[in-house]
Structure 1
């Protein structure tokens, strides 16, 4: 099969438009730097806290509506014995933005933090902050790699080009415009990408539904036709696992720098909350095209198409079901629009995660831990270098590794087990200290790793009640992810209390208090050379057009 030249040309034109938008947005970043002299790193990381509400809504939604979201919902809806009932992304992402706006926006935005790591380093110290940086940056890199790999597989189906070419091209475009303008380039390209995602995905739906090989999806929703009903079913013994997965998707999606980068970029707490709430609604509604495409795949007699038999599930190609539906059930030009939508979704998430990881490294590791006297210009260049390195690493993983999704899944669960309880404690429980934080980190990490990972074929050392061995992998029906998170949270509280009680009551000699919790509070940096600048541009007047694109 020859390369789809018209489709390839269309994708290249689309990429050039995205790149041009990023370059244009970088000029706005430079204007903000001039207006707010001396805060170049803050402009690059949080847009000078001057991102308008409309742009904020688009960039927040686009970050969540990534390639994993679009492809993943379609895949789960299509898979036999799973179906829509097991697709947690639509509900989970929406709930995470809702709860984030209700509970986490105000304490983060009030104190004018620049990254999610700031409160950890200010409360627990720079060393503990560096340890907590590890699961955060792993999540960002593996997420970028997973969605780039997904894009490569999709393009190989529709355009018939090598997977590595699309990965390298997409990663290069993302790296270039992220380098040029920081958050401004990311945010404004997200606006364009979001519009393209909405229009092109919805255009694909009617063509897929009306294909003669497709049965009525209302009938196949609850009745077996070519495979099990696409609505899915939750067995009684699976209820706790279902709740566990939903809580992971909801609470585990809050402690991510990509979210707080948008929260901290808003001009006010009110605007940040509105952005979060409206993005939550969009995340829910924009799941519908992927659900319909998954339902169409269930309802298709593949023998009537050029794809033929066996089915995508029997060929183990379920992960590419969205691309297969576009390629074999839609006209060529519609399929090209669909691949454009997936490309836009991937880039809108990849750029955010690369900027997220590089911002945390430049500020919280390089500036705070490695070189405390680094100038603004130096921090900017470290951030740009990090974008290139992290982007190259993500692209390399996407090309060479077949288990990227499993790695991302494991890192996402580590974020839930480790970072979520840490974030709750650092923002809402002031009595916690570094000893409790360290204990919670170690216990959360250990318990999660010992539970194994079925996707990576890592057998569990700890087999919770309900563990079974199915199709060569272990499955745990016990809600061990939430159980691990709660034990980590409890550990932080208990060890913080014990250490504080023991040292303040002189039950342990003062020489054992290596972190000096009895001598000074950790609510603020303890020395000038550890000072974390929170808002260099606090007193500026807001722009008259801050709520306009």
Structure 2
């Protein structure tokens, strides 16, 4: 196999541009006025993302290598009816902006896990970190693996070389620039995706091997029979609702200058997702209309499963001139890097703040958190790269982790945003276990997980669940959280269960020191020094929400039980439930 030198030069040129922009953007960081500002500078770009850059980086939340490759594959394999990702992710941005972006940004949280730990405690937040981390890491690994396959098709470069090179570039500028670098490189990357793919379309359509795209000649619409309706709805809701509880999305929401702007960016990015899906949709239809035996394609005909996932790079390679295909390869590389850097930064931010800071070492300084986050960026990047190089069923792992995000995290997110008064750690932990078991026992053929629970309409021949069991599992998880929380609250408050058995300290057995910010105690659940008790910055009328800054000096705690006071939402001081599980 002869390596295409011209193709390598074009890819290297593109990578140099991305690297230069990433380093330049990283230097835009303001000089922090104090150590307390440094983590938000890196994690959230100082909450100062502009409208133009914000639109691009919010759109890049979902528009990645898997997005454009998967869209083309879906059109080729099953038609536009089954191409749900572009429309599902666009709707997830709309719903996220409508119901979650405003509330999360108003509270001034730093990561998606902050409200979970405020309500359920740091350790429960650590458990919820697991599916969130898996989703980000598996997603990064999947798109890096897709890039390796794409590069090998177009320029005959070794898979491993392209994966490692792309990961190193993304890691380098993310490591030193944080969200500034990720956001500004997203602008360049999305521009390259759009221009690169549209440039390839006229050349591919006019290739002599491509037949008519008319519906009577090429069925790129697809079909849906009644028996598959449940599965179809399940996948659709998974994309729409399961696309919300991701740190990679909320990192953009929380980096916005205001709650209104966070909503606006979500709506505009939803439109951007649809626009960015049009070129790969057309390319998928072109691939379906192509007589591949009339091209230089050496593989099996009809295309096997391994090649249907590569129809986009195959169209670029075999239906366009070499120079055009190199531009298209740059577009694919841009898509991969725009997603991988975001996921790596998101996972590292959650670990540094919600695991290291709130569980492992509460007294850590902001500068220490930054260095922990940088170490986490390297570790997450290495893990994703290693998986891309060695694990064959990465997409299967990502599908499964996406299901877990939908089943386990979405119900909890709904509760911490809208039903705080009706939820506690007992309900959260029970719902967490329930959601995990129901989804796992439903099986996943891609990763060899057998279906121990066979829901109605189970297809024995194909081993598929045709019933919308993911959505059922999510609803049961939500119902479990609310029910167990209400029952446990009633049993403790009515005296049916002694207060000392409130082992998670979230209903009646709330230690007095949790409410005494001025008197820190030793141990994991201690409250930090008073100068570290900086509140989340609420955007309500441009001021700190006074309801969120109730101090122990201002409150008379002797006349009312602790549970009747709102928790002091502090950046470093745990709230009243911090002694929870």
TM-score range, shorter chain: over 0.9
Please give the per-residue CA displacement for 1:18-43, whole angstroms capped at 9, x wherever unaligned: 011111011111xx233576311111
Q: CA deviation at 1:316?
A: 3.5
Work out whether residues 439 and 470 of structure 2, in 8 Å CA contact, stay in contact via their aligned partners in 1: yes
1:46 aligned residue (44, 47, 53): 44
Higher RCO (CA-CA < 8 Å; seq separation 6+): 1
Distance 1:278 1:173 in 2: 29
Work out whether residues 48 and 537 of structure 1, in 8 Å CA contact, stay in contact via their aligned partners in 2: no
Work out whether residues 35 and 366 of structure 2, in 8 Å CA contact, stay in contact via their aligned partners in 1: no
User: Residues 202 and 520 from structure 1, CA distance in 2 versus in 1: closer, same or farther, beyond 3 angstroms?
Assistant: farther
SS in 2 for 1:469: coil
Work out whether residues 35 and 365 of structure 2, in 8 Å CA contact, stay in contact via their aligned partners in 1: no
Q: How do residues 66-215 of structure 1 correspond to structure 2 at under 5 angstroms?
A: 66-79=64-77, 82-215=78-211
CA RMSD in angstroms, aligned pairs only = 2.1
Q: How do residues 293-304 of structure 1 correspond to structure 2 at under 5 angstroms?
A: 293-304=283-294
Distance 2:299 2:474 in 1: 44
2:466 aligned residue (477, 496, 506): 477
1:462 matched residue in structure 2: 453
Work out whether residues 139 and 415 of structure 1, in 8 Å CA contact, stay in contact via their aligned partners in 2: yes
SS in 1 for 2:27: helix
Q: Which has the larger radius of gyration?
A: 2
Distance 2:90 2:243 in 1: 10
User: Residues 152 and 534 from structure 1, CA distance in 2 versus in 1: closer, same or farther, beyond 3 angstroms?
Assistant: farther
User: Residues 537 and 97 from structure 1, CA distance in 2 versus in 1: closer, same or farther, beyond 3 angstroms?
Assistant: closer
Distance 2:260 2:412 in 1: 25
2:242 matched residue in structure 1: 252
SS in 1 for 2:423: coil
SS in 1 for 2:459: strand
User: Residues 525 and 132 from structure 1, CA distance in 2 versus in 1: closer, same or farther, beyond 3 angstroms?
Assistant: farther
Q: CA deviation at 1:536?
A: 6.8
**Any stretches of 5+ residues in structure 2 without a counterpart?**
518-525, 544-581
Work out whether residues 500 and 517 of structure 1, in 8 Å CA contact, stay in contact via their aligned partners in 2: no
2:5 matched residue in structure 1: 5
Distance 1:537 1:117 in 2: 17
User: Residues 537 and 277 from structure 1, CA distance in 2 versus in 1: closer, same or farther, beyond 3 angstroms?
Assistant: closer
Q: CA deviation at 1:298?
A: 0.7
1:262 aligned residue (231, 245, 252): 252
1:283 aligned residue (273, 290, 303): 273
State how many pairs are aligned.
529
Q: TM-score, normalised by structure 1?
A: 0.93
Indicate yes or no: 2:311 matched with 1:321: yes
Please give the per-residue CA displacement for 1:138-190, whole angstroms capped at 9, x wherever unaligned: 10000000000000000010010110000000000000000111000100111
User: Residues 37 and 375 from structure 1, CA distance in 2 versus in 1: closer, same or farther, beyond 3 angstroms?
Assistant: closer
Work out whether residues 122 and 525 of structure 1, in 8 Å CA contact, stay in contact via their aligned partners in 2: no
Moved more, 510-519 or 399-408: 510-519
Q: CA deviation at 1:231?
A: 1.0
2:384 aligned residue (394, 401, 404): 394
Distance 1:440 1:173 in 2: 40
Please give the per-residue CA displacement for 1:193-251, whole angstroms capped at 9, x wherever unaligned: 1111111111111111111110121x2x354x5xxx22110101111211110000010
